[in-house]
Structure 1
Amino acid sequence: MGFEVSVQPSDHRFRAEPGETVLDAALRQGLSLPYGCRDGVCGSCRGEVLSGQIDHGKAPLEVLSTADRQAGFALFCCATAKSDLRIESREVRSLDDIPVRTLPARVQRLTRAAPDVMLIELKLPANERLQFLPGQYVDILLKEGKRRAFSLANPPHQDDFLQLHVRHVPGGQFTGHVFNTMKERDLLRLRGPHGSFFLRTDSEKPMLLVAGGTGFAPIKAIVEQAIAEGCKRPMDLYWGGRGRADLYLLQLAEQWPAQHATIDFIPVLSDPPAGDHWNGRTGLVHQAAMTDHPDLSGYQAYVCGSPAMVAAARRDFLTRCHLPADEFFADSFDYAADVREAIDTLTSLDTTVGHL
């Protein structure tokens, strides 16, 4: 037996099965509620429970506080229904006509952009195109039902190839394959697009774009799409890394403000080695953005990077810089799957050695 969920203000309705998250149930039935990480980190799926009972599941306190819960808010990627529900959530109407598809793709080109970053260009079959919005991601389908999520770095209007930015995770099964054995013309299977992290075109507000490491990939797609559409909204882009090598497409990012008066670009390094001879901004990338933008009440923010960076940016932008909660859009890059595989492999090796 399931529970009926009605969404306000649209009054759209769907059923959630026991143990199924509200978000999963909505997506399964073709209703596009906003989401990013689907793991309770980014806060994009936050909404209000107007009536009914839920289980908050694994929603972290740093993203959904006790006070938020008592006030009726929930993260719908974590929450499960315990009764019929009335919830309030905006709907991503522009996703309605974009089908999620499973397609084969051929590795067209591999480019080592940094010692630990590979750019992969994928070619779909002839006469096939993947419809998506700038900022969305695809899943690479692996054996045994495993999958790895990567943002699309190319804008939709440049879809001859799909570009992924892959950071090497030491010991990771898939990223190890990318860096050590993957070859051009290899075949992959992908499924997508996914995610509600994409450029909102129905707003005139200036945009604050914050990327950490390979979180630059979807930000790149958003900026290039905005340029192609002749967007006149101001865009302030902050890209952070530990050292200069982490800003693996620095020259491209520097070209944008040189060619477009509405774009500003600020690179930020948290721990530049002496050999970088870095004279630019240093520290945490989201804090650099806050220093320059102490009042974000009139902005939209697009943030992509590690879960820790995304969570800190959401907390600080909303509480200290007065950014409206519904103007924070985020995607967190969680490398936990590959890291878990690396740990499992090491544990297995330790166990084997112990039996020798």
Structure 2
Amino acid sequence: MTPTTAAAPPFKITVQPSGRSFEASEGEAILSAGIRQGIGLPYGCKDGACGSCKCKMLEGRVEHGPHQSKALSAEEEAAGLILTCCGVPLSDVVLESRQVTDESAFPIKRMPARVSSLAKVSHDVMVVRLQLPANDTMRYHAGQYVEFLLRDGARRSYSMANAPHTAGGQPGAVPPVGPSVELHIRHMPGGKFTDHVFGAMKEKEILRIEGPYGSFFLREDSDKPIVLLASGTGFAPIKAVIEQLQFKASTRSATVYWGGRRPADLYMDAWLREKLAEMPNLRYVPVVSNALPEDNWTGRTGFVHRAVLEDLPDLSGHQVYACGAPIVVDSARTEYSAAAGLPPEEFFADAFTSEADKAQP
């Protein structure tokens, strides 16, 4: 009779200060285990490339899989920081992540979604609206995202650009009407998914999505003034947060800094200016980094995250919500803390890490 080898017992992962806990199976990364059990740990790429999931390990031992040094340096690892996306526990682990709250634990659902409309709003940005099933409502926070499940097993992540209250839906109607979500998809030439979006995709096409994911959403338990920092299509979740602020009749001061290479990259500039007229506490600072003479640009220039520091050299009393290219998000995180006194726990971020970013050595 051949003896059987018992599976190793799962390790307990505890997240402070929320006190929430979950179990990780043998060989399972902490982030995967957390997502599986509805714990809203922060993350971006899930491939060790962006550093968005980095957090402090208070107790325990973790073994890291392959990752980029820009996401976690040897010095940071020696100081007790880990990447939950590729960190596999070797014991029970206690983490510190102030972004984990009970609020973020909306159930993650997998469902079909029908393309209800396609609108090209710039040369490389498509606004895609998806109709969700009427009988399977997905609850989400303004700022969270969904993942497309592609046929080959690959996934692509896109933020919802509309706040939950705008999603609509009438499950009791005849026929029932499901909610809809808005996505802003930038064309990455050669990218199999975005080539499809900008080429063969048609209305009524059925896709499969999973969500909501992410810890990037408005913290409504604070009255601190807000900086909303976006680059490119990082504006999508910022748009949802703006809609949420308006819906809640928030009196908090909020300033949007939106950066693009050229003015056309600010593809919803007109929408944002309309909101300024409706929301007295909202300000908007567009920033362009590579304007050409024919653009006739007379506004702010340079790096969008630097424009914030020029206007607000003291961020110690603010909250910052940043979304866009990893270089923008990472630079803002570092410089706002070091140069402007922003408390690290008041910086909330989603970095858009493309397949090209992940492929870098």
If the length of structure 2 is used for normalisation, what is the TM-score? 0.88
Alpha-carbon distance in 1 for matches of 2:143, 2:54: 19
Q: Deviations over 1:251-309 (max 9, x none)?
A: 01112222222111000000012111000000011011111111111111111111111
Alpha carbons of structure 1 residues 206 and 10: separation in structure 2 relative to 1, 3 Å: closer
In the alignment, what sits opposite 1:105? 113
In the alignment, what sits opposite 1:163? 182
Alpha carbons of structure 1 residues 203 and 46: separation in structure 2 relative to 1, 3 Å: farther
Alpha-carbon distance in 1 for matches of 2:253, 2:50: 24
In the alignment, what sits opposite 2:80? 72
In the alignment, what sits opposite 2:280? 261
Does structure 1 retain, via aligned residues, the 8 Å contact 2:40–2:213? no
1:5 to 10, 13, 30: 13
Matched, 1:151 2:170: no
In the alignment, what sits opposite 1:193? 212
1:55 to 54, 59, 63: 63
Alpha-carbon distance in 1 for matches of 2:48, 2:349: 11
Alpha carbons of structure 1 residues 101 and 325: separation in structure 2 relative to 1, 3 Å: same
Q: Deviations over 1:294-349 (max 9, x none)?
A: 11111111111111111111111111111111111111112216997xx9xxxxxx
Q: Aligned ranges for residues 1-356 of structure 1 at < 5 Å?
A: 1=8, 2-40=10-48, 43-58=51-66, 60-90=68-98, 91-96=100-105, 98-160=106-168, 161-336=180-355
Unmatched 5+ residue regions in structure 2?
A: 1-7, 169-179
Aligned residues: 340
Does structure 2 retain, via aligned residues, the 8 Å contact 1:206–1:300? yes
Pairwise CA distance, 1:49: 1.7
Alpha-carbon distance in 1 for matches of 2:104, 2:216: 11
Unmatched 5+ residue regions in structure 1?
A: 344-356
Greater shift after overlay, 233-242 or 39-48? 39-48
Does structure 1 retain, via aligned residues, the 8 Å contact 2:49–2:358? no
Alpha carbons of structure 1 residues 311 and 59: separation in structure 2 relative to 1, 3 Å: farther
In structure 2, what residue type is equivalent to 1:95? S
Does structure 2 retain, via aligned residues, the 8 Å contact 1:44–1:328? no
Greater shift after overlay, 207-216 or 118-127? 118-127
What is the root-mean-square deviation in Å for CA atoms of aligned residues?
A: 2.2
SS at match of 2:165: coil
Does structure 1 retain, via aligned residues, the 8 Å contact 2:41–2:214? no
In structure 2, what residue type is equivalent to 1:153? A
In structure 1, what residue type is equivalent to 2:355? A
Pairwise CA distance, 1:69: 3.0
In the alignment, what sits opposite 1:346? none
Percent sequence identity over aligned pairs: 46
In structure 2, what residue type is equivalent to 1:260? M
If the length of structure 1 is used for normalisation, what is the TM-score? 0.89
Greater shift after overlay, 44-53 or 149-158? 44-53
Pairwise CA distance, 1:136: 0.6
Alpha-carbon distance in 2 for matches of 1:263, 1:114: 25
Greater shift after overlay, 299-308 or 47-56? 47-56
Does structure 1 retain, via aligned residues, the 8 Å contact 2:55–2:83? yes
SS at match of 2:166: coil
Q: Deviations over 1:26-62 (max 9, x none)?
A: 2223333333443456655333222222224455444
Does structure 1 retain, via aligned residues, the 8 Å contact 2:38–2:108? no
SS at match of 2:164: coil
Alpha carbons of structure 1 residues 100 and 122: separation in structure 2 relative to 1, 3 Å: same
Alpha-carbon distance in 1 for matches of 2:324, 2:126: 16
Pairwise CA distance, 1:99: 1.5
Greater shift after overlay, 326-335 or 55-64? 55-64
Does structure 2 retain, via aligned residues, the 8 Å contact 1:59–1:79? no
Pairwise CA distance, 1:175: 0.8
In the alignment, what sits opposite 2:174? none
In the alignment, what sits opposite 2:4? none
Hey, which of these two has a bigger chunk of helix by percent? 1
Alpha carbons of structure 1 residues 110 and 138: separation in structure 2 relative to 1, 3 Å: same
Alpha-carbon distance in 2 for matches of 1:302, 1:312: 13
Alpha-carbon distance in 1 for matches of 2:354, 2:85: 18
SS at match of 2:152: helix
In structure 2, what residue type is equivalent to 1:300? Q
Greater shift after overlay, 175-184 or 263-272? 175-184
Pairwise CA distance, 1:155: 0.6
In structure 2, what residue type is equivalent to 1:186? E
Does structure 2 retain, via aligned residues, the 8 Å contact 1:63–1:311? no
